[in-house]
Amino acid sequence: MTSENEFQLFTSLRYDPLLLESQENSRPVLNFVAPSPFYMLAYHRDRMVEAAQHFDFDEVEKRLQDGKALHEELLKRTKTEIERSGKDRAMKVYNAVILLEISVDILQLRLLFDKAANLTVEFTDVPAVPLSTLYPPSLDPPNSKVQHASSAAFKPSPLTGGALTLGPDDSLPASTSTPPPPPEWTLKLDTAPTPSSPFTLLKTTKREMYDQSRQRALPENPAGAAYREVMLYNEVNELTEGTLTSLYLFRGGRWVTPPVGVPSGEFTSKTLKDDGADEGELRKPFAGRWGHSTRSAKVGAGGQRGTSRRWALGSGYCMEEPVSIDTVQVGEGVWVSNGVRGFGYGKVVE
């Protein structure tokens, strides 16, 4: 019988051949091999190392030191999985008349390490999305007229012999200049706090708190309902994260994300220094005399340092800032993101 104290470290990431075309995804800070079909693999490796150090999974830490070896092992396992079950998945997609827009070559990889560093990889089909969903040009709302993204360098089509020029009354089709909107989410605020702990900060298979949150706030929906999210908050009524995603809310004229705590350790200190980041320590926030949070700038709210969240902070799209649940309003727009689906935009509902 497995002890309730036993758990595995894990992370979930995206395998998508479209990422081979992404210059951003090929940056050395995001991947060990370029180009790579894995979405921010280096960031996933980093947070698994952080968890391994915190929970004393020493063999896991050793195994993760070689990032290129990790890339090659995952690529080999993924290709084997596609070859082994490609026919079965293709038949399922055909029978479903592709209603879910599933691509047989786009997968979620769930990496699980036990304390002895044995690696298990679980594969799940995921929907296709454009690169702009994985690496958005900004966090402007999808219907915003303001666009911060710079235009890509013009590449003449070989069909025109390179002679195409635009006159003063000409324009390119909108579809070539405006990325498609991100997936739409609906978000509900949880009805009870989720206490902060190392298991809300670091990704492990101890996820009962997230299942309980979805059962409380989404009783009529299955736990795995896509594009529905529950916004978690801690003991002092500060938002921490979603059950599946990192959160970004518009406050004070800019997008902010709840601060997180990070575990102590040489590896964590180095990654924060390399990022130029200044994120919270692993210390619990506590209520002050008047019930509000009393914190230093170094105290995290209790959520996870998500991979896509780390990218958004490093790209200057948002800042860390505590967000009280008292400020959350029905109808307000919220960005969400995770390491499998990328970024999405939604509204808070009752």
What was the pLDDT predicted at 181?
A: 82
The answer as to whether 221 is a domain residue is: yes
What was the pLDDT predicted at 183?
A: 84
Q: Using omega within 30 degrees of 0 as the cis cutoff, is the peptide bond preceding 195 cis?
A: no
What was the pLDDT predicted at 323?
A: 94
The contacts of residue 26 (CB under 8 Å, 6+ apart) are 34, 35, 36
What was the pLDDT predicted at 144?
A: 60
What angle, 0 to 180 degrees and rounded to 10, lies between the N-to-C axes of helices 266-275 and 307-314? 40
Query: What are the pLDDT digits (tens) for 79-88?
Result: 999 998 765 5
The answer as to whether 160 is a domain residue is: no
Tokens of 254: 């800019």
CA atoms within 13 A on the CB side of 231: 30
What was the pLDDT predicted at 170?
A: 43
Computed over its alpha carbons, how large is the radius of gyration of the chain?
21
The answer as to whether 139 is a domain residue is: no
What was the pLDDT predicted at 276?
A: 52
Domain total in the chain: 2
Query: What are the pLDDT digits (tens) for 22-41?
Result: 999 999 999 999 999 999 99
Which residues does the chain have with pLDDT short of 70? 1-5, 86-104, 144-178, 221-226, 261-301
Q: Are residues 109 and 252 in the same domain?
A: no
Q: How far is CA 216 from CA 81, 138, 297, 350, in A?
A: 36, 33, 31, 13
- Which CATH number does the domain housing residue 196 bear? 3.20.10.10
The contacts of residue 175 (CB under 8 Å, 6+ apart) are none
Look up the domain containing 113 and give its range: 9-128
